[in-house]
Amino acid sequence: MHKKKHNIIEWKLIRNFFHFRFNVWTSVSSILVLIFIYIYYLNLPDLIIFPNRNDFNYEFYTDSANGGNSIITYKNVSDSAIDLHFDLNEGFLSPYVGVSIVPKNSNIIDISNYNQIHIDIKGQLINNIGISFYIPNQFIKEASNNPELCFHTNLEILQGQNHYFKNLEKFKIPDWWRDLFFIAGSEKIKPDLKLVNRLNIGSAYTPTLESVYSIQIKAISFERNNTQLTILLLTMESIVMLLLIIIHYWKWKRKNSLAPAITIEYKAVDIETQQLSGFLNYINSSFHECDLTLEQVSKQTGINQRRIANYIQQTFGCNFKTYVNQIRINESKRLLKDSKLNMGEIAFKVGFGTQSHFNRVFKSLEGINPSVFRGDNK
């Protein structure tokens, strides 16, 4: 009888909710607005970078600007492909070549409506591709000798796969660029995607120097993945409906005084142990990501950045960056002793963006260069 009475009350509450025009109009209006937003982004056309010879110039480059000796043996841009054949030669720490894409009729590429880049690419003897875009330096006034900021990410080339998608949130200012122009690692800079000057695509972290390297690009476009947008819109609509229901229930309860107080008994969980275990496990399983940051760990584990930093300092006697680097160096020592991977491959596998950065950190923590360590432990 008691259960039946509550069912009647719930049904009356729901029916009463839709008797109020404010509730109905607010619900319908919010749904229509969110549908309009979703349709707008769903029908947003892709920004075609290639093939698009009417709007863009395609210029080839090598590492000669950095004292390298790599050469391009064949280059061609047609309506169906960008073909690049080249030899990577010693001279620069990490030899490279690539293609730079520059807009013809304006100084910028506006990619602010997009959240991923799509590349149809394949390579011969190429394991990794570096993708960079450059924007005017509007953030670091002290870097007056640097008119641009570089945002970079790496793309691992897999055998039998040609289509690749990369989220634009993965593009970060690389360590070598920060070192070159004295940009502090703590400086968090988000790119203004309305002001992209050019896009560079080229070889990166090639393990061995051989001949007959090639890259063929058949398509480049900026696109929008609406999965996160869908989740966001559904969440927003749920919040609107929940607020309306709460307000309506509160008014209905005041008027009818029908809702008894509800008490829920539960056993409190051990938050401290779970949280500390959570962020340490996350760091220990994600150290190989070169763009791993304190902010990312906090976001993924839900733990305050200051708390993470204080715990690491009190427990391990170092800051967050040193803790991560120590894990990376420990893993690199194992690879130096137990594998035949070269220095560049090891640096990349344990989470360093460049071999030079790996060498500096290894020597600062171990007192010797990684090559000396390998020789001593053969």
- What tens digit of pLDDT does each residue of 156-200 get? 888 878 899 999 999 999 888 888 887 877 778 888 899 999 999
Which residues are 62's β-sheet partners? 97
- What tens digit of pLDDT does each residue of 196-223 get? 999 999 988 776 666 678 999 999 999 9
In this prediction, residue 91 has a pLDDT band, given cuts at 50, 70 and 90, of: confident
Which residues are 164's β-sheet partners? 119
Q: Is the pTM of this model over 0.75?
A: no
Q: Using alpha carbons, select from 95, 151, 157, 164 the residue that is nearest to residue 128.
A: 157
Q: Using alpha carbons, select from 100, 1, 99, 118 the residue that is nearest to residue 48.
A: 118
What pLDDT was estimated at residue 7?
53
Helices first, then strands: H and E counts in the chain = 11, 11
Write the DSSP assignment of 87-98 as a string of letters. E--TTSSS--EE
Higher pLDDT, 51 or 143: 51
Residue 123 burial (CB < 10 Å; 0-12/13-18/19+)? middle
Whole-number Å distance between alpha carbons of 214 and 87: 9
Q: Using alpha carbons, select from 295, 361, 360, 359 the residue that is nearest to residue 323.
A: 361
Domain boundaries along the sequence of the chain: 2-43+228-256, 47-223, 271-376
Structure tokens at 55: 């709007």
- Class of the 47-223 domain? mainly beta
Mean pLDDT across the chain: 82
Dihedral angle computed from the Cα positions of residues 252, 253, 258 and 263, in that order, rounded to the nearest 10 degrees? 140
* pLDDT of 263 above 70: no
* pLDDT of 57 above 50: yes
User: Helix or strand or coil: residue 116?
Assistant: strand
What pLDDT was estimated at residue 48?
92
Q: CATH for 271-376, among 1.10.10.60, 3.30.70.580, 3.40.50.1820, 2.30.40.10?
A: 1.10.10.60
User: Helix or strand or coil: residue 145?
Assistant: coil
* pLDDT of 52 above 90: no
Amino acid at 324: V
Output the CA–CA distances (angstroms, integers) from residue 274 to 244, 299, 303, 312, 313, in the order listed. Answer: 35, 16, 11, 16, 19
